[in-house]
Amino acid sequence: MSEAKQAQFDRRMLETLICPQTQTVLEYDAASQELISKAANLAFPIRNGIPVMLVDEARTLD
């Protein structure tokens, strides 16, 4: 699979995830490689292309 197709696939996969705490839609922040839950005020990291959807691993937003 080409790099461009891989990026599109990953983006679509990320868009299907929801916040484990609030069950709301997440926003993808490509620059920081995080999924943002505005409702929970949390940022979930993406490590090695894998979203870490654990509240204990999330960063609290300022």
Q: Where are the chain's structural domains?
A: 3-60
Handedness of CA 8, 23, 29, 52 (dihedral sign): negative
pLDDT at 10: 66
* pTM of the complete model: 0.79
pLDDT at 4: 44
- When the candidates are 3.30.70.20, 2.20.25.10, 1.20.58.220, 2.60.15.10, the CATH number that belongs to 3-60 is 2.20.25.10
Q: List the pLDDT tens digit at each of the 62 positions of the chain.
A: 444 444 444 667 777 899 999 999 999 998 999 999 999 999 999 998 889 999 999 999 98
Say how far apart CA 5 and CA 28 lie, in whole Å: 17
pLDDT at 50: 87
How many CB atoms sit inside 10 A of residue 57's CB? Answer: 11
pLDDT at 58: 98
